[in-house]
Structure 1
Amino acid sequence: MPLSATMVGALLGLGTQMYSNALRKLPYMRHPWEHVVGMGLGAVFANQLVKWDVKLKEDLEVMLDKARAANERRYFGTVFELKVFFLSFRFFFMV
């Protein structure tokens, strides 16, 4: 995955620089160092995007687990506690 993200980012950076030169009607490879910088920045951007996506999925799983636990405490835990309370309440008055 990192290799493909690096290649996609490098191609994105190269394509952006070549498109910029084409819009200005300049030779495609006018300043080769700009293409290298564009490829490097594109590769860094794509790799950071992949890392961010993985972290986002992990954080989402943590949030969903917390929400599930809160819902279980809110609905299932409360119902059980109320049943126990009412049963003990009824038993108290029966004696």
Structure 2
Amino acid sequence: MTLAGTLVGGGFGIWTVIYANWIRKMPIFYRPWEHVLMFGGLAYVGHRISSATEFLEERVMMEAKRRINANQGKLDAEYRAILGEKYYNKWFPEGTGSSE
């Protein structure tokens, strides 16, 4: 996933410079070092966005598990109704101290 984000970001960087030169009616590769800098900069941004997405998904799952486990004894009936038996058993395997 991060390779794809890196390449897409780099592509946006090159396209931005080419488009800016085209709008100004200059040669497309007027200053080639701009292409390299924009490719590198936006490739880094694309990589970081992919990494941030993965990190935030992990954090959300960790926080959800923490909150569910903190309220498990108080809200077992509600959790069963909301999650259904299949997903309730996924989040609360047998023997975790469920009080019902």
Q: TM-score band (shorter)?
A: 0.7 to 0.9
RMSD after superposition: 1.8
1:59 corresponds to which residue?
A: 59
Q: Specify every segment of 5 or more residues in structure 1 that has no aligned partner in the other structure, as ranges.
A: 81-95
2:8 corresponds to which residue?
A: 8
What is the aligned length?
78
Runs of 4+ in 1 over 4 A off after TM superposition: none
| TM-score where L is the length of structure 1 | 0.72
Task: Tell me the distance in 2 between the aligned counterparts of 1:2 and 1:60.
Answer: 20
**Once the two structures are superposed, what CA deviation does each residue of 1:48-92 show, in whole Å capped at 9, x if it has no partner?**
00100000100010111012113313324xxx5xxxxxxxxxxxx
Give the percent of matched residue pairs that are identical in Structure 1 and Structure 2: 30
Task: Tell me the distance in 1 between the aligned counterparts of 2:17 and 2:73.
Answer: 55
| TM-score where L is the length of structure 2 | 0.69
**Residue correspondence of structure 1 range 7-86 to structure 2 within 5 A:** 7-76=7-76
Q: Specify every segment of 5 or more residues in structure 2 that has no aligned partner in the other structure, as ranges.
A: 77-98
Larger radius of gyration: 1
